[in-house]
Amino acid sequence: KQEVTQIPAALSVPEGENLVLNCSFTDSAIYNLQWFRQDPGKGLTSLLLIQSSQREQTSGRLNASLDKSSGRSTLYIAASQPGDSATYLCAGRDDKIIFGKGTRLHILP
């Protein structure tokens, strides 16, 4: 059974710093790995989706990588801004989407 873990549960970083969020999954036979952003009390916004055949995806200041062999994905955020403060969830996809609990990110002005 697929399990997705995100550590740490919360992270505070000064504005302007680059940062990495981590996601690990137990079953390497995933079809894709997706990163979402969730603002407090709001729904999910898809950020990046990496297919199993891909190693990484980039969108603006965001870069997501996928290493199936080690069961890990990372989300890299460059030059962080206060507006990046949110919860970031990763989700692994086999026949269903399995979500992690998320990392609550706070960018300090």
Partner 1 sequence: DAMVIQNPRYQVTQFGKPVTLSCSQTLNHNVMYWYQQKSSQAPKLLFHYYDKDFNNEADTPDNFQSRRPNTSFCFLDIRSPGLGDAAMYLCATSEGPGVPYEQYFGPGTRLTVT
User: Per rule CB under 8 A, is residue 44 in the interface with partner 1?
Assistant: yes
Q: What minimum distance in Å lies between the beta carbon of 28 and partner 1?
A: 15
User: Per rule CB under 8 A, is residue 27 in the interface with partner 1?
Assistant: no
Q: What minimum distance in Å lies between the beta carbon of 103 and partner 1?
A: 11
User: Per rule CB under 8 A, is residue 54 in the interface with partner 1?
Assistant: no
Q: 99 vs 33, 64, 85, CA distance in Å?
A: 10, 16, 19
**Residue 86 CB contacts under 8 Å (≥ 6 apart), including other chains:** 37, 38, 39, 40, 104, 105
**Residue 30 CB contacts under 8 Å (≥ 6 apart), including other chains:** 2, 52, 68, 92, 93, 94
User: Per rule CB under 8 A, is residue 29 in the interface with partner 1?
Assistant: no
| Binder among 13, 19, 49, 62 for partner 1 (CB under 8 A) | 49
Max intra-chain CA distance, the chain: 41
User: Per rule CB under 8 A, is residue 102 in the interface with partner 1?
Assistant: yes
User: Per rule CB under 8 A, is residue 92 in the interface with partner 1?
Assistant: no
Interface residues toward partner 1, by CB under 8 A: 4, 9, 31-32, 34, 36, 41-46, 49, 51, 89, 93-102
